[in-house]
Amino acid sequence: MASIMRILAAAAAIAGSATASPNAKLESRQAPFTPRPGYFPATGDDTISGGIFCIPLNELGSAVANLNLPGGVGTEVPRAGAPGPANGPYPAKVVTDPSLPGHTLYVLSTPPPANVSVPFIAWGNGGCAMDGGATYRSMLLMIASHGYVISADGPVAQQRQSLVSDLRASVDWALKGGADKYAKIDRDKIITAGHSCGGLSAMSTAYHDPRIHRVMLFNIAIFQDNRRYLLQEIKVPVAWFIGGPKDMGHPGSEKDYKLLNAGLPAYKANLDTGHGGTYVATNGGKFGKAAINYLQWQMRGDEKARAILLDPASEGSLVKDNWSVEYKNWD
């Protein structure tokens, strides 16, 4: 519980010291989203960070307290590891690009061969921080090294919280060709993903946006039952990577997984870490391994990666790494 409260305090500090967002004028004209059955806004934007699937910050502390989570962290919490070397076939680096202000990019150091198409990931940070993915840098570089271009909200150390429009801006940029200087982006392989508040922002970005093909949520799910009806508007496969019963994302992920539209593919894996995952470990640790294998299976049809995710008996399976796994509607 202490680690969760530290996250809440950090989010409150970011919100309290927020500087003007490039989208502030848009957000100031927008009425706050109020959930009610049968009401589906046109987009997932809201005046709060994380969008329509998220919870207002002033309600978060009491919501977490009401979950009655076990105290402490899980048995799988790692020690911090040295960054890299990333384990993919392509060297990767961190850059900023003036054509996409307010974001940090994780890209291949040199473009891959022309016949290699590359998926694009829009990443939201924990606390909806605008910090360029600093906490997840080792994992994001590792993923990029396998042939992905990733945009994380925020230049390093910008003190405001991100909005859904920040994630959407990176998707717009990639689809308009902004990322093509780094690799040939496959317009049919666009993913939104994120940790904690950033994960709910990823889901809110995918809401009513047919350009998004997968959603990945790390250590988070919807908090408030009166927002779950919105899940019926999610039309693409969703994956949750959760930190077990000590994770504040755990109770909601159990509900959300069950409430997705009938027939929609979904994946849910739990590792006993609590809310912080294993992102500080080299290459993102076990969460990094789970993420890249899910991506390689979904984006490139990698059968070995699929087995690691779905077959407990396979070499290097997540189950052998102490994950508990549940999935549905995968052929």
Kind of pairing between the strands at 117-124 and 92-95: unpaired
Q: Is 316 left (phi over 0), alpha (psi -120 to 50) or beta?
A: left
Instruction: Kindly tell me if the per-residue pLDDT of 14 is higher than 60.
Output: no
User: Quick one: pLDDT band at residue 17, thresholds 50, 70, 90?
Assistant: very low
Report, as an integer, the average pLDDT of 220-246.
98
Which one is predicted more confidently, 264 or 8? 264
Share of the chain above pLDDT 90, in %: 78
Under 8 Å CB-to-CB from 330, ≥6 apart: which residues? 265, 267, 310
Instruction: Kindly tell me if the per-residue pLDDT of 239 is higher than 90.
Output: yes
pLDDT at 85: 72
Which CATH fold would you assign to the domain 2-35+42-328?
Rossmann fold (3.40.50)
Instruction: Kindly tell me if the per-residue pLDDT of 63 is higher than 80.
Output: yes
Report, as an integer, the average pLDDT of 253-278.
97
Number of neighbours of residue 63 by Cβ within 10 angstroms:
14
User: 17-26, 270-279, 318-327: which range is least confident on average?
Assistant: 17-26
C-beta separation of 141 from 106 below 8 A: yes
Instruction: Kindly tell me if the per-residue pLDDT of 261 is higher than 70.
Output: yes
User: Quick one: pLDDT band at residue 107, thresholds 50, 70, 90?
Assistant: very high
Instruction: Kindly tell me if the per-residue pLDDT of 264 is higher than 50.
Output: yes
pLDDT at 269: 99
Start-to-end CA span in the chain (Å): 39
pLDDT at 80: 73
pLDDT at 30: 59
Report, as an integer, the average pLDDT of 30-44.
91
For tokens 């977490």, name the residue.
64
Domain residue limits, the chain: 2-35+42-328
Instruction: Kindly tell me if the per-residue pLDDT of 15 is higher than 60.
Output: no
pLDDT at 263: 97
Q: Element (H or E) spanning 57, and its range?
A: helix 57-66
Indicate the pTM of the whole model.
0.91
pLDDT at 22: 43
pLDDT at 77: 83
User: Quick one: pLDDT band at residue 10, thresholds 50, 70, 90?
Assistant: very low
pLDDT tens-digit series, residues 109-153? 999 998 898 999 999 999 999 999 999 999 999 999 999 999 999
Report, as an integer, the average pLDDT of 285-303.
98
pLDDT at 92: 96
User: 21-25, 95-99, 135-139, 165-169: which range is least confident on average?
Assistant: 21-25
Q: What are phi and psi of 296, to 5 degrees?
A: -65, -35
Strands annotated E in the chain = 92-95, 103-108, 117-124, 129-130, 149-153, 158-161, 184-195, 214-218, 238-242, 266-270, 324-328
Average per-residue pLDDT for the chain: 90
pLDDT at 81: 73
pLDDT at 21: 43
Tokens of residue 130, six digits:
């605008």
Instruction: Kindly tell me if the per-residue pLDDT of 26 is higher than 70.
Output: no
